[in-house]
């Protein structure tokens, strides 16, 4: 019995040995966890998700709902949590805006090479399209680098070390600043037709996104060529890594204008779906309809969201228990919106004799302003999500022949007899402040409306907001065309473009008759506010060191606020009216100060140590 | 048993005290201090403004040591003994001399006056208080021939740190009245918020079109009462 069992066991074992040796396949199966090159580069679905990753990594400085970045210039200050109050108390460092992302460039180059090498099963059209999309992203990244760092090394292939002990072939020197702009233009010209298949999409690079990037990049190159050389001492390096010769300006302006014209004649239109011009300007970016936006970064509820509404919603309207009110727009920004009759936007808080102007309604001081003010800023007396905001700093009481301004200890407090029985009654300080030294409530008297989603639960952290980020939109293209045409001496065309845009903002037809660079600059500030333009605009016009001059008395370098007070003066004609006081919020600590060294950010010492061919930027 | 536990605990705790020695370097004991000077006169700068850079060769980590300047032009840095290279950077009220480094031997406490070439200087500044306010007398000198004058400004402040960024009162001189090497006078009336103080601080700044930074005179305290 025992013997039989053992012999049977041995026999079975022997048979099983014979059996398994025949098939090597068992060891040679396809992995279920790894994707091979052949699979990746031949599968449109996998490729699309790879490209989606690259789209998500498109660089930006103050854009893509970067609440903090938006509070570092003169358009706004930080009113959020105190732990980031350094944004109101800092100086642009040598490395401010530094961007040197050759990791992303390598990924893009690797993809381009692998599509050429492995993508045998894709159709010609598909291969061209992916190739063009990745090159568009690469041009976008180079543009981001050149506008912050000046001329950077142009690397278009993977740099692979051969272990020879000599790394010099990997050390690429910086190109000239204009060579990088030329590279961007050339790339976009080559690929723009290959992107035509994406023209129906607003979130993938299409022909018009390429043209829009051309329009912007060429305008930057042109204005650097022009305005850098108008400086008392142009910022240059001897090798041309920084600084573009002045005689190249007009060619760049022409290229920018040509690209802008092609977009304007294409099937895009300024957003005009809402008859209320102010609400229309807000809807343009908040709703994903219309034909204004050319290329956007999209978000979707429960899939990919951002917390811009959570950060910035008006305090009393928040649906969450923390945050709100982080971006407080500045008074100088609000005043940069002109009146519809064409006069300067300075708010009339006091008469020429120095007395307060009393307004019967709290929003009357903002009457007849550029409609984009309503679409960008929430000011006292305005509404959001159909609800009135409660912005009122306090009560003004007539005493000793002047007004004394009193603020309540608590937000939303009603005035009883704290200031005397005769003044009792009515709201003392609004639920939305402003307070000049508190967190999570406006410190300037203004809130931001632009980009703050009004969707249900958008300001909660659970749901969050899903409005999209426009990389390029037609409004900017009109302004690019205006500036390029103006610089080229085509003043009539330029005036036509800017007036078309201003009509959308509520101005009458032909509101600008005597166009100047000052008008164009102001127009860009109000139209493109908080869209990651102002920092670069002031840089390329070489005006940043003049506007942000670090002087504590400068109304632009310092963020001021405007505080409304209700007059309590029983028996007087002004009783119940409102006066406005210009204040410097206590939380704003240091005037914006842009030094010459900030025109080009410093290159990391680490980069220079690894590649001795890298030339330092001026002043660093 | 209890004794054993205690003694092992003690052994563990004593371990905490021995570990520290290894990775702690001794703090640098030498000091490099000095002033920014032009022809022996210290150069005033903006508070938190221009900087110098120190470099040291021979180490794998190559990174500069920033040297901050006091507003009177003095500086001090704690260093190890050794040879350093000192760089005068641009965007300062003096000529950039980025390639012209100064070799510094630091041994113990070392004194060094760093010579610079300001675009403009102000000599013989003096301030007088009178019933109309404050009068400043000074002489403007052009040092770099290619430089152009942009601003000459008188600053009055409540605090000892007074400059272009932080001041209570700033008055621009009329540039057409300024000739180099000749005495200039500026008169400023004090506003209400300064009039009744015990003292104010005064300073003159001068800026060329080339740089974003001002050359300042040394701060002076003016008693008002």
Chain B from 151 to 180: CB within 8 A of any A CB: 164-167, 170
Predicted local distance difference test score (pLDDT) of residue A19: 56
Chain B from 107 to 146: CB within 8 A of any A CB: none
Chain A from 230 to 249: CB within 8 A of any B CB: 232-233
- Which of B85, B115, B145 terminates a domain? The answer is B115
Contacts of B148 in chain A (CB under 8 A): 232
Does residue A404 belong to the interface with chain B, where contact is any CB pair within 8 Å? no
- The reply to whether B134 and B210 lie within a common domain is yes
Tens digits of residue pLDDT in B48-94 = 888 888 999 888 888 889 999 999 999 999 999 999 999 888 778 88
Structure-derived torsion over alpha carbons of residues A456, A459, A464, A469, reported in degrees to the nearest 10: 100
Residue A104, both tokens: 């992303």
Does residue B51 belong to the interface with chain A, where contact is any CB pair within 8 Å? no
Q: How many domains does chain B have?
A: 2
- The reply to whether B108 and B127 lie within a common domain is no
Predicted local distance difference test score (pLDDT) of residue A614: 95
| Residue B80 within any structural domain of the chain | yes
Give how far B167 is from chain A: nearest CA, Å: 7
In this prediction, residue A153 has a pLDDT band, given cuts at 50, 70 and 90, of very high
Residue B206: which CATH number? 2.60.40.2060
In this prediction, residue A25 has a pLDDT band, given cuts at 50, 70 and 90, of confident
Does residue B90 belong to the interface with chain A, where contact is any CB pair within 8 Å? yes
- Which of B73, B92, B115 terminates a domain? The answer is B115
CB burial of residue A576 (10 Å; 0-12, 13-18, 19+)? middle
- The reply to whether B139 and B107 lie within a common domain is no
Closest CB to B90 among A232, A605, A619: A619
Tens digits of residue pLDDT in A523-550 = 999 999 999 999 999 999 999 999 998 8
Tens digits of residue pLDDT in B136-190 = 999 999 998 888 888 899 999 999 999 888 888 888 888 888 889 899 999 899 8
- The reply to whether B124 and B165 lie within a common domain is yes
Contacts of B62 in chain A (CB under 8 A): 605, 608-609
Residues A579 and A358 sit within 8 Å (Cβ to Cβ): yes
| Residue B25 within any structural domain of the chain | no
Predicted local distance difference test score (pLDDT) of residue B217: 93
| Residue B17 within any structural domain of the chain | no
Within 8 A by CB and 6+ apart from B119, the residues are B93, B94, B95, B142, B143, B144, B147, B208, B210, B211, B215
Q: What is the ipTM, given to two decimal places?
A: 0.72
Tens digits of residue pLDDT in A96-135 = 999 999 999 999 999 999 999 999 999 999 999 999 999 9
Within 8 A by CB and 6+ apart from B69, the residues are B36, B45, B49, B50, B51, B52, B75
pLDDT higher than threshold 60 for residue A427: yes
Residues A465 and A448 sit within 8 Å (Cβ to Cβ): no
Q: What are the DSSP calls for A285-340, one per residue?
A: HHSS-SS-EEEEE--BTTTB-B-HHHHHS-GGG-SSSS----EEE-HHHHHTSPBT
- The reply to whether B126 and B101 lie within a common domain is no
Does residue A604 belong to the interface with chain B, where contact is any CB pair within 8 Å? no
- The reply to whether B109 and B133 lie within a common domain is no
d(CA A215, CA A217): 6
d(CA A145, CA A514): 36
CB contact under 8 Å between A550 and B164, yes or no, is yes
Count CB pairs under 8 A between chains A and B: 45
Domain span including residue B161: 120-223
- The reply to whether B104 and B193 lie within a common domain is no
| Residue B18 within any structural domain of the chain | no
| Residue B15 within any structural domain of the chain | no
CB contact under 8 Å between A596 and B165, yes or no, is no
Does residue B96 belong to the interface with chain A, where contact is any CB pair within 8 Å? yes
d(CA A320, CA A356): 38
| Residue B127 within any structural domain of the chain | yes
Tell me the average pLDDT across A437-445.
93
| Residue B77 within any structural domain of the chain | yes
> To which H or E segment does residue B98 belong?
strand B97-106
Give how far B144 is from chain A: nearest CA, Å: 14
- Which of B61, B91, B115 terminates a domain? The answer is B115
CB contact under 8 Å between B90 and A597, yes or no, is yes
pTM of the predicted model over 0.80: yes
Predicted local distance difference test score (pLDDT) of residue B21: 55
d(CA A34, CA A42): 15
Residue with tokens 């031997």: B105
Predicted local distance difference test score (pLDDT) of residue A225: 97
CB contact under 8 Å between B165 and A552, yes or no, is yes
Share above pLDDT 70 across residues of chain B, in percent, rounded to a whole number: 93
| Residue B209 within any structural domain of the chain | yes
Structure-derived torsion over alpha carbons of residues A5, A8, A14, A19, reported in degrees to the nearest 10: -120
Residues A476 and A490 sit within 8 Å (Cβ to Cβ): no
- The reply to whether B126 and B163 lie within a common domain is yes
pLDDT higher than threshold 60 for residue A20: no
Predicted local distance difference test score (pLDDT) of residue A407: 93
Q: Domains, chain A, ranges and CATH?
A: 40-60+76-161+171-267+598-610 (1.25.40.390), 308-589 (no CATH)
In this prediction, residue A28 has a pLDDT band, given cuts at 50, 70 and 90, of confident
Tens digits of residue pLDDT in A252-305 = 999 999 999 999 998 899 999 999 999 999 999 999 999 999 999 999 999 999
């Amino acid at each position: 019995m025992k013997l039989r069992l053992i012999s049977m066991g041995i026999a079975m074992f022997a048979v099983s040995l014979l059996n398994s040796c025949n098939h090597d396949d068992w060891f040679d199966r396809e992995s279920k966890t790894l994707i091979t090159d052949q699979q990746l580069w031949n599968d449109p679905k996998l490729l699309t998700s790879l490209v989606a990753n690259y789209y998500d990594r498109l660089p930006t400085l103050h854009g893509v709902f970067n609440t903090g970045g938006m509070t570092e210039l003169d358009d706004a200050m930080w009113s959020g949590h105190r732990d980031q109050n350094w944004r109101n108390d800092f100086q642009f460092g040598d490395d401010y805006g530094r961007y040197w992302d050759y990791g992303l460039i390598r990924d893009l180059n690797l993809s381009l090479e692998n599509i050429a090498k492995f993508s045998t099963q894709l159709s010609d059209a598909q291969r061209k399209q992916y190739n063009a999309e990745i090159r568009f992203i690469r041009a976008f990244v180079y543009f981001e680098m050149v506008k912050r760092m000046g001329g950077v090394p142009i690397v278009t292939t993977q740099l692979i070390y051969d272990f020879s002990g000599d790394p010099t072939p990997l050390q690429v020197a910086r190109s000239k600043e204009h060579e990088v702009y030329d590279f961007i233009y050339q790339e976009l010209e080559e690929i723009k037709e290959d992107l035509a298949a994406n023209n129906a999409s607003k979130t993938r690079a299409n022909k018009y996104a390429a043209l829009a990037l051309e329009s912007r990049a060429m305008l930057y190159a042109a204005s650097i060529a022009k305005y850098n050389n108008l400086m008392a001492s142009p910022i240059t390096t001897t090798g041309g890594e920084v600084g573009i010769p002045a005689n190249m300006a007009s060619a760049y302006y022409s290229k920018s204008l040509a690209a802008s014209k092609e977009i304007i004649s294409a099937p895009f239109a300024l957003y005009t779906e809402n008859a209320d011009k102010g609400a229309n300007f807000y809807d343009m970016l908040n709703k994903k309809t219309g034909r204004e936006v050319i290329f956007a970064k999209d978000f979707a509820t429960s899939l990919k969201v951002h917390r811009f509404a959570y950060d910035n919603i008006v305090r009393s309207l928040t649906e969450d228990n923390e945050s709100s009110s982080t971006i407080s727009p500045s008074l100088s920004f609000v005043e940069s919106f002109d009146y519809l009759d064409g006069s300067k936007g300075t708010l009339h808080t006091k008469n020429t004799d120095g007395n307060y102007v009393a307004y019967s309604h709290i929003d009357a001081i903002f009457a007849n302003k550029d409609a984009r003010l309503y679409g960008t800023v929430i000011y006292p007396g305005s509404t959001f999500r159909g609800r009135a905001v409660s912005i009122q700093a306090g009560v003004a009481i007539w005493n000793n022949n002047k007004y004394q301004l009193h603020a309540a200890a608590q937000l939303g407090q009603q005035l009883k007899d704290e200031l005397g029985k005769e003044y009792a009654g009515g709201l003392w300080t609004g639920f939305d402040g402003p307070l000049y030294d508190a967190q999570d409530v406006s410190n300037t008297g203004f809130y931001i409306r632009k980009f703050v989603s009004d969707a249900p639960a958008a300001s909660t952290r659970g749901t969050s907001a899903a409005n999209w980020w426009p990389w390029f939109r037609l409004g900017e293209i009109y302004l690019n065309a205006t500036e390029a045409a103006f610089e080229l001496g085509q003043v009539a065309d330029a005036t036509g473009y800017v007036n078309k845009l201003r009509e959308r903002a509520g101005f009458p037809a032909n509101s600008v008759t005597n166009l100047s660079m000052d008008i164009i600059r102001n127009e860009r500030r109000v139209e493109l506010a908080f869209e990651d333009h102002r920092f670069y605009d002031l840089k390329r016009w070489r005006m940043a060191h003049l506007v942000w001059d670090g002087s504590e008395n400068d109304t632009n370098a310092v963020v001021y606020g405007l505080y409304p007070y209700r007059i309590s003066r029983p028996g007087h004609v002004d009783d119940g009216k409102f006066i406005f006081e210009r204040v410097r919020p206590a939380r704003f600590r240091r005037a914006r100060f842009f030094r010459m060294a900030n025109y080009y950010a410093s290159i990391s010492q680490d980069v220079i140590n690894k590649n001795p061919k890298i030339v330092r930027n001026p002043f660093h | 048993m209890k004794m054993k536990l205690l003694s092992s605990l003690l052994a563990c705790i004593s371990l905490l005290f021995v570990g520290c020695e290894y990775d702690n370097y001794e703090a640098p004991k030498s000091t490099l201090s000095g002033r920014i000077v032009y022809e022996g006169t210290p150069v005033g700068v903006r508070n938190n403004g221009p900087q110098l850079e120190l470099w040291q060769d021979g180490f794998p980590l190559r990174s500069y040591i920033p040297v901050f300047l006091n507003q009177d032009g003095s500086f001090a840095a704690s260093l190890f003994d050794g040879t350093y290279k000192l760089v005068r950077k641009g965007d300062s009220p003096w000529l950039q001399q980025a390639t012209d480094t100064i070799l510094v031997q630091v041994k113990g406490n070392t004194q060094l006056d760093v010579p610079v070439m300001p675009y403009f200087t102000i000599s013989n500044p003096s301030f007088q208080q009178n019933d109309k306010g404050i009068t400043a007398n000074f002489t403007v000198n052009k040092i770099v021939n290619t430089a152009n004058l942009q601003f000459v400004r008188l600053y009055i402040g409540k605090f000892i740190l007074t400059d272009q960024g932080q001041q209570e009162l700033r008055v621009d001189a009329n540039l057409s009245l300024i000739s180099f090497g000749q005495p200039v006078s500026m008169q400023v009336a004090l506003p209400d918020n300064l009039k009744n103080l015990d003292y104010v601080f005064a300073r003159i700044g001068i800026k060329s079109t080339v740089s974003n930074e001002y050359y300042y005179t040394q701060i002076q305290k003016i008693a008002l009462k």
